[in-house]
Amino acid sequence: MIFGDAKVSCAELVVIGDEVVSGLILDRNSQYLGEKIHELGIEVSRITTVGDSASTIEDCINLALERSDWVILTGGLGATHDDITKSVLLKVFGCGLKKDLSVESMLEKMFQNRGRDVPPSVKSQCEVPDKAVILYNEKGTAPGFKMQKGNSILFSLPGVPVEMQYLFEKYVAPEMAGKNNKVFLHRLIKTTGLSEAGLWEKVGPIDNLQKKASIASLPSHLGVRIRISVLSESEDDGESRLDEVENYLAQKLSRYIYGRNEDEIEEVVGNLLRENSLTLATAESCTGGLIGHRLTQVAGSSDYFIEGAVVYSNQAKVDRLHVDPKLIEEFGAVSEPVAKAMAKGICDVTGADLGVSVTGISGPSGGSDLKPVGLTYIAVHDRSGTYCKKFVFTQDRIRNKERSAQAALNLVRLRLQEKMEI
Amino acid sequence: MIFGDAKVSCAELVVIGDEVVSGLILDRNSQYLGEKIHELGIEVSRITTVGDSASTIEDCINLALERSDWVILTGGLGATHDDITKSVLLKVFGCGLKKDLSVESMLEKMFQNRGRDVPPSVKSQCEVPDKAVILYNEKGTAPGFKMQKGNSILFSLPGVPVEMQYLFEKYVAPEMAGKNNKVFLHRLIKTTGLSEAGLWEKVGPIDNLQKKASIASLPSHLGVRIRISVLSESEDDGESRLDEVENYLAQKLSRYIYGRNEDEIEEVVGNLLRENSLTLATAESCTGGLIGHRLTQVAGSSDYFIEGAVVYSNQAKVDRLHVDPKLIEEFGAVSEPVAKAMAKGICDVTGADLGVSVTGISGPSGGSDLKPVGLTYIAVHDRSGTYCKKFVFTQDRIRNKERSAQAALNLVRLRLQEKMEI
C-alpha cells in the first residue's frame, strides 16, 4: 500500500541482457537503482528490459532520452561478443571510438597483479566513445560512460552488481543529488508479528500524518515494513517531519517494531545480548538450523552465540537436551511441554544464559486434525523461567520454517527488551 | 555466456506498480514469466516496468500491442485506489464495463467461507471490461482478462505471484503453446566446484554441439548452470538432440555435475542417503546451522537427517563432539585435525552413519597471514574413515558461509556416489 509520493525530476532505467529477458537470471540491479534514485527524490518513471538486440536497444535509448532527464543503462559492457551496448551508444550519439590511456594503464596494472598479460578480448575495453566522460571502474574491467543529449544525461554502467553499484555511488548519485535543490529523506520502520491489515487497524487514521510525509507499507510473510519519505527544503525540516511520523507510529505499534532502515532482527538480538553480557544457545527441531544460520550472519556473533543443537529426531531431543521421553510420549514432540523442556535443556547443557527452542510441523506431511501442518511451539528460557508461545503458520514448508525462525528471534528480542513476564 | 537461441513469435511484459519502480519490492514475476515463455519457444523482446500512472501505462500498452504478438501485464488489478490497470484497458480497447455474474458468485462464496460479506471495495472486481474474456482467479479476488487488438493478444494478470502464476499456467501458457507448431525443449545441467572459465576449458570447443542446440551458462558463487535448448519439429528429435549434448557435457564434466533442472544438491544427497539406508549428522562451526537448514528444506528429510551440532565456540567442540582440546591448542580451531575430529565426533555421539563437519573463518575479522579469511576445512566421516578437504573462499562473510555449505553438501554427495578414497 502506498499513500502518495512527491518527486522532482524523472529517470528511466534500461536493463540489457538476453539472460534477463529469458529468465535465466533475476535482475536485482533495477531494484537497487529504483530505491537509490527514489531516495534522491527523483522519480523512476519506467524500467525497460531488453535482450541483446542492437536495434531494440537503440530504440529504447532514443525513446528514454526523449522522455527523461536521466537515463541509466546497465549491462552489455563486457568484452564478449554478445555485449553490444558500446556500439549502440556510438550510433545513438553519432560518435567514434578513441583509446583511453587511463583505462589501459588500469587494466595493465590489474592483470600484472594476477601475473598475466591483458587478454586480447579485454583490450577492447580501452576503446571508449569519443564523446563520453569515462567512469573509471576499480571493481572490474569494463569502464562506464556518461554522455549527454540535449538536457538528458545518460549513464552506461556494467551489469555485474558490485561494479554497477560502485560506479553508481561514485559518479551517478553525486551528480543526481547535485542537480536537485530539494532534500529527499526517507526512513524504514520494520515490524513483525502483525499482518498489514492488523497494523493499519492498530495505527488508525493517518490523514494527518500524510500531510507530513508519504507513507508506504510492504508486507511479507516475515513482517511489514513501513517507508516514510519527505521532500523538503532543508534537512532539519525533513528530519523533524520524519521524526514526528516515526514517533506517532512507534507509539501506536510499540513492541511490534524491531528496528529501522537496514536493521535485521538477528542484529538487534545480538546487540541486546552484547549490551547485557548474555550468551544464547538454540535448540531447533523443524527450523533445522535456520536460527543459528541467521544469528551467525552477523559478524562478531561468536561474542554471544555459543552453540546450537539441531535435534531433528526425538532421540536427539532426549540424548542431547535431556527432554523426558515421557513428555514426548504423552504430549508429542510438537507440544508446549517439549518446547519448554528443549529451551531449558539447551541452557542446562551448554551453560548459556538464554535458550530458545522451536518444535513444529513444517509440512507438507506430518499434520493431523489435532495438530495441523504449521503448528509450532517456540520457547525461551532464562534464569527467571520459561516462556512458551504457540503459533499456527499456514504456508508451505519453506515459509513456515522462515516464519518460525523469525518468530523465535522476535521472542528473544522481546524477552531481552521487556523482561517479559513468564 | 549465451551461445545463440532460436525463437518463433515474440512477447512483451508490462509490469505495473509504484512499489516496483521505487525499489520497495523486488519484481520476481518477470523472471518467472521470462523463463516460462522462453520455454514455450517464444522470445520475450522487452519488459517494461512502470509506476501507477495511467498515461504512462496506456502509452506502454499501445506500443507493446503494435510491436508484439503477445502482451502480458502484471499488477494494478487490486481493489485499492492505486490499482488502475482496468480503467486503462477500457481506454486502450475502447470499451465499457459489465458485471460478470460468475466472478460475483465466486467472491460471495469466498467471503462466505470466511464468515463475512464481500467488502464494498472488493465488489468492484465483478465489473469487467465488456470486450474481455475473463480469467477466473481461484487464488484471489482479482480476475484476469484476455483481450485482442488486431493480431496481438493481451493478458492482464494480477501482481500477487501465486495468483499470477495460477492464471498463467491455466490460461496463458496453453494458448501460447497452441499457436506454436514447433516444439521448444530445454534442460538445465547443474554443476558445482568449477568456475565458468574452468568449466568451458574442461569442455573444450563446442562448435559441433551448437549445431545441435543453443547453450548458455550462468555462473554464481555456488556453481555454474548450463541451459541447453532446442527448437524442433518433433519432441523425439528435440529430446534426442538434448540427450546428445547432455551426454557430451556429462562425459567432459562428470563428477562436477550434481543434477539437472529443478534438482538441488540437498535433495540429491537426501535421495542417495535414503537409497543406501544411511543416516547423516552435521557438525557446523562457521556455517552456523546453514547445512542443517538446507537439508531440512527437503520434505521427508527426517528419514535420514537425524541431528546437527552447531559448535560455534571451542568449548562446544570439546563438550559436544569430544574434540581433544590439545588439537585446538596445537593446530587451531580452523584446521584439518579439528575438522576431522568434529566429523568423527558427531558420528560417535549421535550414531549417524555419516558425519560432515565445517570449520572456517567466514570474516570479516578473525583472519591472519597464515590463516586468511575464507580458509575453511570440510570433513566427511563414515565407517571406512575420514576425508578432509581445504578451501580458501574469497568473498564476504555471507557468501563464504553459503559456499562452505554448498561444498560440504557436495563432498557428502561425492562420498556417497563414488565411495571416494580417503
CB contact under 8 A, B397 and A297: yes
In a domain, A421, yes or no: no
Domain identity same for A42 and A70: yes
User: Could you tell me if A282 and A292 are in contact, meaning their C-beta atoms sit under 8 angstroms apart?
Assistant: yes
Please tell me the distance from the alpha carbon of residue B12 to that of residue B396, in angstroms, as a whole number.
37
pLDDT, tens digit (0-9, with 9 covering 90-100), for B73-106: 999 887 665 568 999 999 999 999 999 999 999 9
Nearest CA to CA, how far is A195 from chain B (Å)? 16
pLDDT-wise least confident of A271-275, B29-33, B121-125: B121-125
Domain identity same for B223 and B279: no
pLDDT over 70 (residue B421) = no
Domain identity same for B161 and B123: yes
CB contact under 8 A, B299 and A51: no
Largest Cα separation within chain B, whole Å, is 82
pLDDT, tens digit (0-9, with 9 covering 90-100), for A285-310: 999 999 999 999 999 999 999 999 99
User: For the domain that residue A407 is a member of, what is the CATH number?
Assistant: 3.90.950.20
Sign (positive/negative) of CA torsion A274, A278, A281, A287?
negative
Q: How confident is the model over A170-188, as a mean pLDDT?
A: 83
pLDDT-wise least confident of A186-200, B43-57, B128-142, B176-190: B176-190
Q: Domain boundary at A179, A194, A214, which? A: A179
Interstrand relation of A10-16 and A43-50 (parallel, antiparallel or unpaired): parallel
Give the domain range for residue A226: 183-260
Domain identity same for B250 and B280: no
Nearest CA to CA, how far is A105 from chain B (Å)? 24
Lateral strand order in the sheet of A375-382: A385-392, A375-382, A354-360, A280-284, A305-310, B305-311, B280-284, B354-360, B375-382, B385-392
Domain identity same for A66 and A108: yes
- Identity of residue B101: L
CB contact under 8 A, B35 and A18: no
Residue with cell 523512476: A44
Nearest CA to CA, how far is B292 from chain A (Å)? 5
Q: How confident is the model over A313-324, as a mean pLDDT?
A: 95
pLDDT score of A180: 67
User: For the domain that residue A225 is a member of, what is the CATH number?
Assistant: 3.30.70.2860
Q: How confident is the model over A210-233, as a mean pLDDT?
A: 86
Domain identity same for A43 and A165: yes
Please tell me the distance from the alpha carbon of residue A308 to that of residue A293, in angstroms, as a whole number.
10
- Nearest Cα residue in chain A from B24: A35
Report for B130-144, B219-233, B330-344: range of highest mean pLDDT: B330-344
Domain identity same for B52 and B119: yes
B119 pLDDT band, cuts 50/70/90, is: confident
CB contact under 8 A, A30 and B50: no
Structural domain count of chain A: 3
User: Could you tell me if A225 and A217 are in contact, meaning their C-beta atoms sit under 8 angstroms apart?
Assistant: yes
pLDDT over 50 (residue A125) = yes
Please tell me the distance from the alpha carbon of residue A162 to that of residue A174, in angstroms, as a whole number.
18
Please tell me the distance from the alpha carbon of residue A21 to that of residue A24, in angstroms, as a whole number.
8
Q: How confident is the model over A189-194, as a mean pLDDT?
A: 95
Domain identity same for A9 and A91: yes
Instruction: Tell me whether the omega of the peptide bond preceding residue A158 falls within 30 degrees of 0, making it cis.
Output: no
B6 pLDDT band, cuts 50/70/90, is: very low
Nearby residues of A220 by Cβ (< 8 Å), 6 or more positions away: none
The radius of gyration computed from the CA coordinates of chain B, to the nearest angstrom, equals 27
> Does the ipTM exceed 0.90?
no
Sign (positive/negative) of CA torsion A190, A195, A197, A203?
negative
Domain identity same for B159 and B243: no
pLDDT over 80 (residue A151) = yes
CB contact under 8 A, B287 and A296: yes
Nearest CA to CA, how far is A141 from chain B (Å)? 16
Interface probe, candidates B14, B16, B49, chain A, greatest A C-beta count within 10 A: B49
Q: Domain boundary at B154, B179, B204, which? A: B179
Q: Which of A143, A129, A206, A152 is nearest to A171 (CA)?
A: A143
In a domain, B144, yes or no: yes
3-class state of residue A287 by DSSP:
coil
CB pairs under 8 A between A and B: 253
Total length of chain B:
422
pTM over 0.95: no
Nearest to A289 among B26, B60, B310 (CB): B310
In a domain, A201, yes or no: yes
Domain identity same for B234 and B306: no
Domain identity same for A238 and A342: no
A295 vs B contacts (CB less than 8 Å): 288
